[in-house]
Structure 1
Amino acid sequence: MPRTVLIVDDERDANDLMAGLVKARSDRPVQVFDGGAVLPAVAEHDPELILLDVMLPDVDGYEVCARLKRRRATNLIPVIMVTALHSEHDRVHGVRVGANEYLTKPFTPDQLFEVMDRAFAWREEHMTRGTAGEIEFDIRSETDYLAELNDMLTDLYVRTPLTERQIKDLKQAVMEMGSNAIEWGHRKNAELTLRITYRIESDNVTLIIRDQGPGFDPGHIPHAAQADDPIAHLDVRNELGIREGGFGIMLARGLVDEFRYNDKGNEVTLVKRFESTGAADLPEGD
C-alpha cells in the first residue's frame, strides 16, 4: 500500500527530484515549499514520513521539526532532515530538535532510500512496542544521547497519558541529569558509557540514569544550588575555579515528582506520575 511522504523544500528542482524518487518506490509524495505550510499539510494528508529541508524562506527546518516533535498528534511521524549543511554542529542540532535521520546533499537515490527505510522501521517499532517491561540503552556521545532521548520521548507520547507539559518537564530533567553525569561523573571521558533505564508503570514513568564514575556524597554538594539559598554555591564555584552554573540538580528536582540518588552518588532516579490513571486514559491504540 502506498505511503504518504511529505516533501518540504523551497527549491523546486530538489523538491521535484525527491518527489520522483518517492514515486519510484510506489509511495505518494505531497510537495510543499515553505515551513509554514507543513502543519496544515500534515493535518490534511497525514503523512507517514517527512523529508524536510533546513534552509527554508520563512520558518527554518529545525523549528518545524521541533514543533512536530513537541505535539502528541505528530510526534510519531519520522522526520528526515535533507540539507546542504554538513557540519557536526548542524547534525547535532537536527538530532536535538528530534530529527530521526540527517541526509546531506548531494545524495544518491540509494542513500535516500536507506534513510527512508530506517525511518519507516522506526515508526513501525514505536507503533507496535508494548508498555510492559523496561528499556535500557547505553550511550557515549552527545548525538547518541539525544537520539535515544528522542526515542524515549516518542514512547512517552504514544504509550502514556502524560501531558505534553509533563513530557517537556521530564525531558528537561533527563537532559540536566544526563549532562551532569557526563560532565561530573565521567569527567567527559568518551570511553565511559552512560546507562539510561526507563519503565512505564501503571501510574508513573520511572527513569534511572547511571554513570560509571566514582560517585559522590549526595548529601554534600556545596558547588550545587540548594533550594533554601539558590546562589550561595556560586562563591564556592568561584573559589574552586569551576564555571558558572550548578543549577541542574535543583532544576531537575522541581520538574519531577520523585528525585533520589543512590548512596554511591552515581545513579539518580526520576519519577513522573500521571495526572490520572487507568486504562481509559491511555492513548488510542493501546
Structure 2
Amino acid sequence: MDTTALHGWAAGEAGRPASPDWTIPQHWERYTPEEHATWATLYRRQMALLPGRACAAFVDGMQRLPIEPDRIPNFEALSDVLMRHTGWQVVAVPGLVPDDVFFEHLANRRFPAGQFIRRADQLDYLQEPDVFHDVFGHVPMLLNPVMADFIQAYGVGGLRAQRLGALEMLARVYWYTVEFGLVREDGGLRIFGAGIVSSAAESVFCLDSPSPNRIAFALERVMRTRYRIDDFQQTYFVLDRLEDLLRLAEIDFTPLYERVARLEPLPPDAVLPEDDVITRGDGRYHRAKMTPMA
C-alpha cells in the first residue's frame, strides 16, 4: 500500500504530528479554491438527497451551525456555537488517530476532525474520514443533547473497554449507531449515522434498496455483529428514538462484555429467529458482487 496518500495514524510515523494529543492547526486560510470547490460539490449533492431521509436532529444541526455550501467550515466558528449549546468543540487532526487518543478527546467533548479533504476524483469513496465526513456527517449531531452526551459516554467507555480487552465489541455499537444508525421518525426510517449521511450512494441504499436487513436495535445483538468497512452495510440497526442512546450511556458494559465474549460473533448479514426484523433483505447487492473463485 502506498502510505504517502494516507493521513494521520494510517500513514504510520510519517503521519504522526508533534503534539501528543495529535491535534494540529486547521490552517483554514490555506485551503485552495479547488478544495473549497470539492466541499461545495459534496455539500450540494448531499443536501439534494437528504430531505425526507435525514433525521430531524441532523437537519436542525445543519440549520444552526455555520456550515456553508461553498466553503470548508472553520473549526473555531463551529466550536463557538457547539460550546454554547452542548459544550463540544471541534479540533483538527491530520487524519485517523490512535484509539486511546480518539477516546480521550471524546471523553472531554472534543471531536477530532480530519483537516484534509478528499481529491476531486475521490468524491464517491475514500478509505479515510476526511473533513467532509467528519464535519458534515458528525458535527451537526453534536448539537443534539442526546448525541452529545452519548458520544462523550462512548469516549469514557472506550478507555475502559481498552483496559478490559473488549474494544471490538464496543466498536460495533459505535459503528451501528453513530456511523451507520437509522431511527424511526415521522412514520418511517431516517438516517442519523455519519457514514450514511455523508455518502451519496449509501444515503439511498440504506433506505431504498431491498438488499440489506433492517433490524430493531438490540444491544447484545449489535455487540456480536461484524460490519463491512469496504462496502455498503448488509444490516442496519434501527433505534425507536434517539433518546434510547441515553439508556446505553448509563449501562455498565462490563458484564455484557463477559457474556458476549462467550458467544460466536455474527456475520454482517445474519438474521436470528429472535430478531425484530423490520425488513428482511434479499442480499442481492452483495451477492451480485461476489465472483467465483478461479
Give the TM-score, by structure 2 length: 0.30
Larger helix proportion of the pair: 2
The higher radius of gyration belongs to 1
- TM-score (normalizing by structure 1): 0.30
Q: Which has the higher contact order (CA 8 A, sep 6+)?
A: 2
Name the one with the larger strand percent.
Answer: 1
